[in-house]
Amino acid sequence: MTALEAIFQRRCYRGKYKPVPVPREHLKIILEAGLAAPSGCNLQTTSLIAVDDPALLNQLQALSHSPAVKTAPALLFVLTRRVIAYEDKCFAVQDYAAAIENMLLALTELGYRSCWYEGHVTGPNRLGYRMAQLLSVPDEYELVCMLPVGVAEDAVPAPEKKPFEKRACFNGFSL
């Protein structure tokens, strides 16, 4: 699969996963893809945790109501440190967003599906905080995203996208 094929085939998947383990070698490739993402001022504010241990997975899955999270054979967690790069600028959000997209593309190429769970994690129920405690995440890190990973149980239809002409233009704004 080419990079462009992975981009165009990537889909958000919120359904159940088949009980097929994700090999540790694949998890490592996915994490390496995330860590290869660009980082503002090369501060590398993003850190990642992969969970494939069944006992720990069960504890983490018990905290969520999502069918995807509850059935995923692996969970990936994205951590950030809010570091000032220069002139009070912090690029933590851009850093972890780039890492997440790289991971989503890598797992797509490897035949897996996922969804970027951020609101579910950072919302008022403090799910991310509770998961971070189970993962022994130090206080200077914030758990900002979770990606369930596995082989989709159901087909993943392409979402309807607005036409190119309604979202992109050349040589100035003309939408």
pLDDT 10s digit of each residue in the chain, 175 long?
A: 889 999 888 999 999 999 999 999 999 999 999 999 999 888 899 999 999 999 999 999 999 988 899 999 999 999 999 888 888 888 889 999 999 999 999 999 999 999 998 887 788 888 888 999 999 999 999 999 999 999 999 988 888 999 999 999 999 998 8
Q: What are the helix and strand counts (H, E) for the chain?
A: 7, 5
Residue 162 within a domain: yes
Helix-strand-coil percent breakdown of the chain, rounded to 5? Answer: 40, 20, 40
The pLDDT assigned to 48 comes to 98
d(CA 174, CA 140): 44
Residue with tokens 């694949």: 26
Residue 65, domain extent: 3-166
- Which helix (DSSP H) or strand (DSSP E) does residue 119 occupy? helix 119-122
* Domain count along the chain: 1
Residue 174 within a domain: no
Q: Is the pTM of this model over 0.85?
A: yes
What's the CATH number where 140 sits? 3.40.109.10
Residue 26 within a domain: yes
Residue 173 within a domain: no
Residue 70 within a domain: yes
Expressed in angstroms, the distance from the first to the final Cα of the chain is 33
The pLDDT assigned to 121 comes to 79
Q: What angle do CA 51, 52, 53 make, to 5 degrees?
A: 100
